[in-house]
Amino acid sequence: MENEEKLEEHWLKLNCDRAFDIKIGKAGLGVLVRDSIGLVDSTSLSTVSDSPKMTEALTLKLDVEFAKKRNFEKIIMETNSQIVHNELVKKKGKHRWKLRPIIIMLDRLIK
């Protein structure tokens, strides 16, 4: 965390990343959780996907589920996908059709 801004106490940063193999339609998802001191926890899984955007959305879903299971309250989620981020902050009903089901699940999980 040398080059990163230090988190305030009681805040957690969830950094998600993914790998996607378009030839076989498989993806690897990963989440790292850090507090103000360093690494707290991590998880990963393999899944089926049809695009990098879908894979990034699934990774954010994994982020939120991971945080909820552990009762994390003050979290910052980091994503590398501007498209998925934009989908999350859009008005309801105006999402890209392939991402819509995951975005709806994320909305429900976040609330």
The domain segmentation of the chain, as residue ranges, is 12-110
pLDDT tops 50 at residue 1: no
Average pLDDT over residues 35-54: 84
pLDDT tops 60 at residue 3: no
Q: Measured on CA atoms in the order 8, 106, 108, 104, is the torsion positive or negative?
A: positive
> Does domain 12-110 sit in CATH 1.10.472.50?
no
Those residues with Cβ within 8 angstroms of residue 89's Cβ, 6 or more apart along the chain or in another chain: none
Could you tell me if 47 and 89 are in contact, meaning their C-beta atoms sit under 8 angstroms apart?
no
Position of tokens 């996907």?
49
pLDDT band at 61 (very low <50, low <70, confident <90, very high): confident
Q: What is the pTM of this model?
A: 0.72
